[in-house]
Chain A
């Protein structure tokens, strides 16, 4: 693959033509009682033929709403366009009669959605689903449609396209489904392809393949493409031009090279600064004393399905997993979905019982202990969960949530609540937070509460299972800084589980890379990033979006206290 070209701009010819899409002063109104009156506020931008425009923003920025307005997907009557126009080749889409709008959508403008698992009809063969839009928008006879479907599946790089057209969606992997979605969008040779976070739900290596595919298809067909994303790494991979949105307003708009390398607006600068990236910001961890935790040949097999008369299928989630964590060390466990990284984390905190192997905590084998014997170790090993919306009981006050652990261990409730307030202050929340309910907090704040809950037990080891993957990038940076700060102040050891090597790079001393239930490489963060030994690690590193882009020096995020 060629180096990222900072000078990449849309071809000269494009500028000559009228824009494919001209959005002028678009406003979308939210129903009364929403957190703001307008989801999209006076938005103006253009999309030229043969150009990839990346619309970047965090959740709630209105970036998807814009695409949905174009596709007629707004949840009417609650949310509606309240002003402005959407011109497609000079004609206002919103003023067109319903039938004309429909022929435009799916025909001239096509869309690829974020979630490949739910975007396909599970009961319809893949080929027929693609054929639907051909039937709707073209006059092709059935045999020609079938041939075209196979051709499309071939173009999006799927193996055995003829066979695959007859398959049901459940037989395909996430990446394959996203390819099918793209084939479906391409069926009628649209002028505009809208992609709404098409790679967010995919693993990094798959993401890279899909981004490569999208880029090559766009270049081949000279389509105009609106690519919605929250990830500046992805922007650096594919964008010609960039529009940055915040709270429904366009804050920065310009050529990719300008926005990426010379961002002007403070918000763009903040977003770029919070893109996780590897920096040599700390020395290798000096391993002192006896290891705090040793996982030794841990193996876990899940029995899936099965019943009274049916044999269950065995899935090996973890095999021969060995890992050492020293006091004060942060070990990153990195792998794609299904690699077994969470299985190991959950085994260590005692949520899963492995089938064999040993997990030694300060020399005691936790797996050999019964429920009662394990109980004292519960305090020492605590967990921070992935989903800030599911990990707090919605019916309990925050103070009780944080104090629940110490209370369960017999501490006086008043004392535990007072301590909970201190901890909430420590993780950066107001003291009054203790009296409120979880739904009153944002995702990042909830994750702070989750961290306070773990700290209330005064643990020696913190297992953080994807603690930032559900958060927006700017919040993600803050939570990572908090974890790093707490780890240092309390001299905590941490097992940091993540699918994102960039995030691991920011907080970990040591990195273990997992694949299909095995640890394929373990070494210091520096070694793994600069001299990866395993081929899989290399492919993971290679798949990091935007790795060729050098984040402007003044925006490199160096955590406080780093070297």
Chain B
């Protein structure tokens, strides 16, 4: 519930407020990228190898004369878009499977959890690389690949929550008053298990952004979308001559991931007040 208590608890964590501020700034940058930097970020804007603070390019230009600042702003769109959609997809897969496993228990639980473990045993970055390489790189395939490699922890979390809530008396009362399984799952248990799921989802957005950057660093990004990972990957050969080409996109990644982690921690404090108090 997003009431005033929630915000007070959230605001008590100074880091979380800072994280939220950074995140809002990044979202604004992404939303108004074409206002701040009209034109295609792939287009040549100035001379190549312009250092930062030069006339046409605040953060310098790359080997082909593309504006780094413009690339970062447009890249923010891609990063946030991929981070959010792939987390949403991972939530859909993970929470559904976890809920079913936790609610039904027994054989259903066994089957779903073995399936989950199958995914957990494969190193997720390798799997993501393979998936993107098989299905030609595009925004959709990248989102799917990231979702497919990152749902298992969410499934395990949702399962644990459902397992413990299923035996609670209010759920048993729902059974004795004749509610259907889907009503019990959606209306009784799910709302009570959301807090930890929201917290780990917020952290998962950060992981997804890192995964996307790593993929595009390896050249497996969407060739039509400017992305931070791609910028670093492209600039790595000239890192000795032109540090700005990789440092600024790198900073963008660090700031975004840091902000998301801070926000996640703040959410954790606000949604699990008992833990927050023990932090002192």
Contacts and interface: CB of A to CB of B under 8 A. Distances in A.
Do A and B originate from a single complex?
A: yes
A296 B175 CA distance: 24
Interface stretch (A283-291, A327-335, A375-383): A375-383
A384 to B, nearest CB: 9
A378 B178 contact: yes
Given A385-B173, A391-B169, A405 B178 contact: yes
A394 B192 contact: yes
A30 interface: no
Nearest to A403: B177
Interface string B154-173: 00000000000000111011
B180 interface: yes
A34 to B, nearest CB: 13
> Residue among B172, B173, B183, B187 with the most chain A CB within 10 A?
B173
A404 B179 contact: yes
Interface in A334-379: 349-351, 375, 378-379
B224 interface: no
A379 B178 contact: yes
Contacts of B191: 393, 395
Given A394-B192, A405-B178, A386 B172 contact: no
B241 interface: no
Contacts of B251: none
A493 interface: no
Secondary structure dominating the interface of A: loop
Interface string B165-206: 000111011111111100100011001100000000000000
Contact of A390 (B169, B179, B183): B169
B183 A453 contact: no
Interface in B214-235: none
B176 A408 contact: no
B170 A392 contact: yes
Contacts of A350: 175-176
Contact of A386 (B169, B170, B187): B169
A450 B170 CA distance: 9
Nearest to B172: A351
B192 A395 contact: yes
A383 B178 contact: no
A472 interface: no
Nearest to A393: B170
A383 B173 CA distance: 7
A387 interface: yes
| Residue among B170, B174, B179 with most chain A CB within 10 A | B170
Interface string A209-243: 00000000000000000000000000000000000
Contacts of A457: 177-178
Interface in B46-90: none
B183 A408 contact: yes
A409 interface: yes
A390 B188 CA distance: 12
Contacts of B169: 385-387, 390-391
B176 A382 contact: yes
B168 A408 contact: no
Contacts of B192: 393-395
A142 B239 CA distance: 68
Contact of A349 (B176, B180, B187): B176
A385 B172 contact: yes
Interface string B22-38: 00000000000000000
Interface centre among A381, A390, A393, A394 (most CB of B within 10 A): A393
Contact of A351 (B168, B170, B175, B187): B175
Interface string B114-144: 0000000000000000000000000000000
A453 B178 contact: no
A465 B212 CA distance: 54
B274 to A, nearest CB: 13
B176 A351 contact: yes
Nearest to A456: B177
A453 B180 contact: no
Which residue, A408, A409, A456, has most C-beta atoms of chain B within 10 A?
A: A408
B178 A391 contact: no
A375 B234 CA distance: 65
Contacts of B177: 378, 382, 404-405, 408, 453, 456-457
Contacts of A393: 170, 174, 188, 191-192
Nearest to B280: A77
Contacts of A351: 172, 175-176
B218 to A, nearest CB: 40
Nearest to A350: B176
Nearest to B188: A393
A37 B211 CA distance: 52
Contacts of A450: 173
A405 B175 CA distance: 9
Interface in A57-75: none
A451 B175 CA distance: 16
Contacts of B187: 396
Chain A CB within 10 Å, residue with most, of B168, B180, B191 = B168
A170 to B, nearest CB: 22
A349 to B, nearest CB: 5
Nearest to A389: B169
A409 B177 CA distance: 9
A349, A386, A404, A450, most chain B CB atoms within 10 A:
A404
Contacts of B183: 408
B178 A408 contact: yes
A502 to B, nearest CB: 24
B171 to A, nearest CB: 8
Contacts of A392: 170, 173
A456 B168 CA distance: 21
B172 to A, nearest CB: 6
B169, B176, B192 pick with most chain A CB within 10 angstroms: B176
Contacts of B170: 390-393
Interface in A391-416: 391-396, 404-405, 408-409
Given A393-B192, A395-B192, A408 B173 contact: no
Contacts of B188: 393, 396
Contacts of A386: 169
A390 B168 contact: yes
Nearest to A390: B169
Nearest to B175: A351
Interface in A447-478: 450, 453, 456-457
Interface of B: 168-170, 172-180, 183, 187-188, 191-192
14 contacts: A349-B176, A351-B172, A375-B178, A383-B172, A383-B173, A383-B176, A385-B172, A392-B170, A393-B174, A396-B188, A408-B177, A453-B177, A457-B177, A457-B178
A-B complex: 6 closest residue pairs judged by Cβ atoms: A405-B177, A391-B169, A385-B169, A378-B178, A393-B170, A408-B179
Given A379-B178, A390-B168, A395-B191, 18 more contacts: A350-B175, A382-B176, A382-B177, A383-B173, A390-B170, A391-B169, A391-B173, A393-B174, A393-B192, A394-B192, A396-B187, A396-B188, A404-B177, A404-B179, A405-B178, A405-B179, A408-B177, A453-B177
